[in-house]
Amino acid sequence: MPLGVGTVDWKKAVNVLKATGYDSTITLEVFCNDPDMQDRYLDMNRKLVLELWG
């Protein structure tokens, strides 16, 4: 499932990471049984993290 679909508070998680002073690479691992959706999920996750980071 892409980020934001489950129950994890990603805004809080990103804010905690930022508060540590971290400002480097974040790796997103996306696993999906539907190859057509895998790229879409990765793009959704990437956009969400960028939005939350900004």
* pLDDT tens across the length of the chain (54 residues): 788 888 999 999 999 999 999 999 999 888 889 988 988 999 999 999 999 998
Q: Are 52 and 26 in contact (CB under 8 A)?
A: no
Number of domains in the chain: 1
Distance CA(43)–CA(3), nearest Å, equals: 10
Report angle CA 34, 39, 45 to the nearest 5 degrees: 110
Among residues 37, 26, 36, which one has the least CA distance to residue 1? 37
Residue 4 lies in a domain: no
Residue 3 lies in a domain: no
The pLDDT of residue 35: 87
Residue 18 lies in a domain: yes
Residue 17 lies in a domain: yes
Residue 31 lies in a domain: yes
The pLDDT of residue 30: 87
